[in-house]
């Protein structure tokens, strides 16, 4: 059966917005390479960060655990970063315009993202968010990509057929999981123009 493309499913981090822990830490005035490395390893590159994506840990808890890995002089920075990191999520160039264009063409637009419980706080200010008909955020589901369950939550909640969906993500593991369920997929690499070219190819045939 030849399915028509009707729905476009976007990941958020590094697809719609730039989630770059190194740039985030630098934005808080951390220029010393050793301090930057300490903060990255204590906050972002941890199992606790992934637990936040599962809705199982708050950023206040992440901060307290991070302090056990840091010298006391870095405690104030750890507090600021864990409280306000989401303010350093610049939009990926061209993506908001592409999302709005796809919406105007009649596609149904959805979000499927591994993100913590504070996602709605910054999502409301994310360019292009007004085009989305629905969102599935891992922390609220207590389930993260690439677990098959979270894709099925998206399909069931919004009455979608996987073969009628294009799923866009920067993670190959997430792409492969979607492929197994029948989604059309696109592995995104920071280039909205190439993504648009691919969608145009799908539309043609």
3 state SS of 19? coil
Picking from 113, 133, 118, 132, the residue whose alpha carbon sits closest to that of residue 174 is 113
CA separation for the pair 88, 85 (Å, rounded): 6
User: pLDDT by residue (tens digit) across 50-83?
Assistant: 999 999 999 999 999 999 999 999 999 999 999 9
User: pLDDT by residue (tens digit) across 122-178?
Assistant: 999 999 999 999 999 999 999 999 999 999 999 999 999 999 999 999 999 999 999
- Quick one: pLDDT band at residue 205, thresholds 50, 70, 90? low
- The alpha carbon of residue 129 and the mean position of all alpha carbons in its chain are separated, in whole angstroms, by 13
Domain ranges of the chain: 7-18+91-204, 21-87
CA separation for the pair 60, 188 (Å, rounded): 32
3 state SS of 157? helix
- CB-based contacts of 130: which residues, under 8 Å, 6+ apart? none
CATH superfamily of the 7-18+91-204 domain: HAD superfamily/HAD-like (3.40.50.1000)
């Amino acid at each position: 059966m030849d399915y028509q493309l009707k729905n476009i499913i976007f990941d958020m981090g590094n697809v719609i917005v730039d989630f770059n822990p190194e740039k985030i830490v630098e934005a808080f005035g951390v220029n010393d390479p050793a301090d930057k490395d300490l903060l990255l390893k204590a906050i972002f590159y941890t199992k606790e960060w992934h637990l936040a994506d599962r809705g199982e840990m708050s950023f206040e808890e992440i901060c307290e655990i991070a302090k056990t890995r840091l010298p006391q002089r870095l405690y104030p920075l750890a507090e600021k970063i864990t409280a306000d990191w989401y303010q350093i999520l610049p939009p990926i160039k061209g993506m908001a315009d592409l999302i709005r264009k796809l919406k105007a063409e009649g596609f149904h637009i959805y979000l499927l993202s591994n993100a913590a419980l504070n996602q709605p706080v910054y999502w409301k200010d994310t360019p292009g968010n007004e085009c989305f008909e629905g969102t599935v955020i891992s922390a609220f589901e207590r389930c993260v990509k690439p677990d098959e369950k979270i894709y099925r939550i998206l399909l069931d909640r919004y009455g979608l057929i996987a073969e009628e969906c294009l799923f866009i993500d920067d993670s190959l593991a997430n792409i492969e999981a979607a492929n197994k369920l029948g989604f059309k997929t696109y592995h995104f690499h920071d280039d909205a123009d190439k993504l648009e070219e691919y969608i145009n190819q799908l539309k043609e045939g």
